Structure formats: structure tokens, C-alpha cells
A and B are shown apart, each in its own frame.
Chain A
């Protein structure tokens, strides 16, 4: 059974989002997604300072098995990336919601409310 923390927001393409106290939004891939991908061996992160529109391909995570695109879940600017993933991409497997975060976004619009809550995402992956 995959873990789906109740305080996060989710997308159909299996990204999670957490609104931080400073207004930034942290983004990662869900426990369900990392389990499907298997052992991760490479992450191609966007550069800090890059601006994206919701739905853009912004990042690639590669497991031994396959490469998968990560889509920008909300519009905004990348302000910080998780540098630790360069040497240890497997952190995403062991800690998808915590140490395995991908990047932080400064939102340019109020889109967070439109995304799925934990119950909706749970229902989505149970299908």
C-alpha cells in the first residue's frame, strides 16, 4: 500500500505539493510513483530561476527501468532544487515525501486549490 499523506496536494501525473510557511511550494513524486518506477538512478532537475507554466515538462526521473517526465504542477519560478539528488537519486525511493523532494516553486498564480487532495488522489490510484 502506498503512503498518501493527508496534508499534501496531488496531481494525476503523480506529483505531490506542499505549501510551506514562507509561501513557497515544495514538489516531489509520490510514493505510488516511486514504487512504479523502481530503483531511481538519475534525476535531471530544472535550473533555479527558470519559470514554467503548469503542465510543462520540467524534470526527468530515471529508474533502471525507464525515464519518466515530471510535469510542473503549478505555474511559477523554480527557486531551489534538491542538490542531494545528484549523488543519491535513490533518496526518492526511501523518502519520497521528505528528503526526496525535487524542487521548490514560487507560485505565480493561485492554482494550488484546484489540485487533488489526499482522498481524491487515493481514489485515483486505487482505480
Chain B
């Protein structure tokens, strides 16, 4: 199975190096992933994220549905356009997916899920939607472009249609607004300010060109990964899976335990895990010497072994960084087994760069 987004021809035209990602033909870079990384940290870059799936929930008791299937509580969303990050758990407390949900009105919530998990997500949501009288509309007709960086909003506003500019200009962080078939969220996956723009597929190629003319540079999935890792944002499938609970995946903060009577799927299992004492946590690692931390490398600590879930070279820090699942009592340093050698790494909070600055 190889899918192409509506922007595929643009990626080829802009010299994108195409790779397979979750069954999609996507650009990993357009020359240098490090240059693209810095472009987003210092200026503005754009990512085709049309492979991600937009789901509109309409009619019926949508709030009731989402309060059942999400670990975070959509009751927190009272203003139109407000977004919420949440995990969707299975009955065993494992993570089916992480997603963003926008509250637009009592009759319309918009959910954005990962490409690799979309099929099972849609099946899962649909299974419960019927009980709440909610219709599930997968918006295959929309493309999505993330414009990210300190100058992203300014430059995107030059490229957006006039009426969409009016809707997007006043947006606060983590809010979205719709304008006809266009939708702009002040959200992202890079640790920088910016927009995620959903629009009719037929209009996406021309909009990509307009963004480029406004000085927004195309960036590939390679830079997207180093940016999100520096920002300490989890990647589904590596940092958390159906086999890991959010409590050992650095996602405890996304669980709404109150009100106690809200019986979301997976609650009883993770509540017991919490009551019994959580054994592992996600930390950040910074390698002290030369080398590159990678996923699945063993982390050796006085409190026991752990494992790197995501590792890379950080273009912003010029050092190797990682997210790792380790025993909760790890302390402030550890060793990582890289090809049989134990190399020293500092243990830090799992966030390295925010808004262009080292944390």
C-alpha cells in the first residue's frame, strides 16, 4: 500500500527526497534536514501533514462519547475553538492513539489522529459513536499543512485567503477557528508557535506555493522528528503504544481523574496502576560525550535498567538527546549502552527546547 497526499507533486517539484512513512510516500527532507530544523527554530517552515486524519463528530451526545473514549476530559472545553490533547485508551489502559480534539460547538467536535493508526482509531470511535447517536465523518477531502516557527503566523497570514486571515489573526495558543471549508489551529508538533491549516485538497497545491512565496520553506518528516523530540513531544508507536499505559509514557498530565465518576475506557486499570505505585517514567537524556542515542538502546542505572524510546542528534543543542523509559528512582545520571560501550548521559526533564531556546 502506498498512498500519496495531494501535495505529492509539490514535494517532487521542491526536490523532496521521498520515503515510505506509515504507507504514505512522504518527503523526509528537501536537501538538509538540519537546515530545515533550524529554519523552523529561527524563521518559518511548512510540513505536509495531510496523511494525518481529520474526523468530524457531529450530532447526538458528542461530549458523552468523548468523555467515554478519551482519558482527558472534554468538559474542560467550554469556549468554541478550544483544543485538547488526549490519549485514547484500550480497556487494558494501553494507548490506542494520541490525538487533538477541537470543540467547535455542542454539535461539532473535530478530532485529528495519526496516519499510522487512523484505521483502528476510526473503527474504535465508530464502535462507540452509535451508542451516543454521533455521526463519524472522515474528512478525506481535506489536506493539512503545518506552518511552524517564530515567523510562521506572520508569513502564513500573508498567504491565507482574506476571510481566513480574519478568523486566524486573533487565535490564542491551542485554539482553532473555521472559515468555510478552511480551518486554522494555533497548534503544532515542533515546540514553536505556528498554525496547522486544514483546507480543501483541491486548493492545497496553490496554497503551498503561496506559502513558499511568503518565505515559508518546505520541511520534511526528518526535521519534524528532531523538532518534536527537542520539544519533548511523544511520538506514537515508539514513546507509547497499546502495550504501555500513559502513566509510564510521560502522559500522566493528560489524564483527567476528576470527576471520579467519569468512567472512561481504561480508567480502572490505570487507576489501579497509580494506586499500586507507578514503576517507570519517561525522562530526557543528554549524552555527555560524542555519539548518537537511538531508540531501543539500553539505559543502565543504579535503580535498574531502562530503554530509550526515541533518540536523535539535536541540531539546536549540538548534542545527542533522547526520551527514555526508566525506573522512577533513576537519579540525575545514567549510562547508555551504545554498541557495547557504556556512555554517560545526564538525566533531565523530558523537554529540551521551547520557543527557540534551550530549556
Q: Which residues of A contact B (CB under 8 A)?
A: 38-39, 41-42, 44, 60, 62, 64-67, 86
Q: How far is the CB of B65 from chain A (nearest CB, A)?
A: 39
Known: A60-B339, A64-B315, A65-B28. A42 touches B292 (CB 8 A): yes
Interchain residue pairs with CB less than 8 A apart (28): A38-B17, A38-B28, A38-B32, A38-B33, A38-B222, A39-B32, A39-B33, A39-B34, A41-B292, A41-B320, A42-B290, A44-B291, A60-B339, A62-B291, A62-B292, A62-B313, A64-B33, A64-B34, A64-B222, A64-B226, A64-B312, A64-B313, A65-B28, A65-B33, A65-B222, A66-B294, A67-B294, A86-B290
CB-CB under 8 A from A44, the residues of chain B are 291, 339
Interface residues of B (CB under 8 A from A): 17, 28-29, 32-34, 222, 226, 290-292, 294, 312-313, 315, 320, 339
Contact residues in B for A60 (Cβ distance below 8 Å): 339
Q: How far is the CA of A44 from the CA of B292 in the complex (A)?
A: 10
Docked CA distance A90–B291 (Å): 14
With both chains docked as a complex, state the minimum distance between the C-beta of B39 and any C-beta of chain A, in angstroms: 13
Q: Which chain B residues lie closer than 8 Å to A38 at the CB level?
A: 17, 28-29, 32-33, 222
CB proximity of A72 to chain B, nearest CB, Å: 16
Residue of B nearest to A65 (CB): B222
Smallest beta-carbon distance A60→chain B, Å:
7
Q: For A66, give the chain B residue with the smallest CB separation.
A: B294
State A41–B321 Cα separation when bound (angstroms). 13
Q: How far is the CB of A83 from chain B (nearest CB, A)?
A: 13
Please, which residues of chain B bring their CB within 8 A of the CB of A86? Answer: 290
Total A-B residue contacts, Cβ distance less than 8 Å: 37
User: How far is it, in angstroms, between the C-alpha of A118 and the C-alpha of B292 when the chains are bound?
Assistant: 32
Chain B nearest CB: distance from A125 CB in Å?
Answer: 15
Q: Which residues of A contact B320 (CB under 8 A)?
A: 41-42
* Interfacial chain A residues near B32, Cβ < 8 Å: 38-39
B34 to chain A: which residues have CB within 8 Å? 39, 64
CA–CA, A62 and B338, complex, Å: 12
Q: A42-B292, A42-B313, A62-B291 are in contact. List 12 more A-B contacts (CB 8 A).
A: A38-B17, A38-B28, A38-B29, A38-B33, A41-B320, A42-B290, A42-B320, A60-B339, A62-B292, A64-B313, A64-B315, A67-B294
Shortest CB-to-CB span from B312 to chain A, Å, is: 6
Nearest chain A CB to B307 CB, angstrom units: 17
Q: Is the CB of A67 within 8 A of B292?
A: yes
In the complex, what distance in Å separates the CA atom of A66 from the CA atom of B320? 12
In the complex, the chain B residue whose C-beta lies closest to that of A69 is B339
A42 lies within 8 A of B291 (CB):
yes
The winner among B28, B292, B320 for most chain A CB atoms within 10 A is B292
> Whole-angstrom distance between the alpha carbons of A46 and B280 in the complex?
37
CA gap between A64 and B28 in the complex, in Å:
11
**Shortest distance between the CB of A102 and any CB in chain B (Å):** 16
Cα distance A62–B291 in the bound complex, in angstroms:
8
What is the distance, in angstroms, from B340's C-beta to the closest C-beta of chain A?
A: 12
What residues on B are CB-neighbors of A62 within 8 Å?
Answer: 291-292, 313
Task: Give CA–CA (A56, B226) in the complex, Å.
Answer: 32
Across the interface, which residues of A come within 8 angstroms of B315, CB to CB?
A: 64
Q: Which residues of B contact A42 (CB under 8 A)?
A: 290-292, 313, 320
A41 CB contacts on chain B under 8 angstroms:
292, 313, 320
Residues of A within 8 A of B292 (CB): 41-42, 62, 67
The smallest C-beta distance from B211 to any residue of chain A, in angstroms, reads: 24
Question: In chain A, what residue has the closest Cβ to B292?
Answer: A62
Nearest Cβ distance between residue B11 and chain A, in whole angstroms?
16
CB distance from B322 to the nearest CB of A (A): 13
> Which residue on chain B has the smallest CB distance to residue A60?
B339
* Complex Cα gap A67–B226 (Å): 15
Distance A66 CA – B19 CA, assembled complex (angstroms): 14
In the assembled complex, the Cα of A66 lies from the Cα of B225 at a distance in Å of 13
Instruction: List residues of chain A with CB within 8 A of the CB of B312.
Output: 64
Chain B residues positioned under 8 Å from A64 (CB to CB): 33-34, 222, 226, 312-313, 315
Complexed CA–CA distance, A64 and B222 (Å): 8
Closest 3 CB pairs of A and B: A41-B313, A39-B34, A62-B292
In the bound complex, CA of A44 to CA of B338 (Å): 11
Q: Smallest distance from the beta carbon of A39 to chain B beta carbons, Å? A: 4
User: A74 to chain B: closest CB distance in Å?
Assistant: 23
In the complex, chain A residues whose CB is within 8 Å of the CB of B28:
38, 65
Q: Cα distance A32–B34 when bound, in Å?
A: 19
Least CB distance from B251 to A in Å reads 25
CB distance from B35 to the nearest CB of A (A): 8
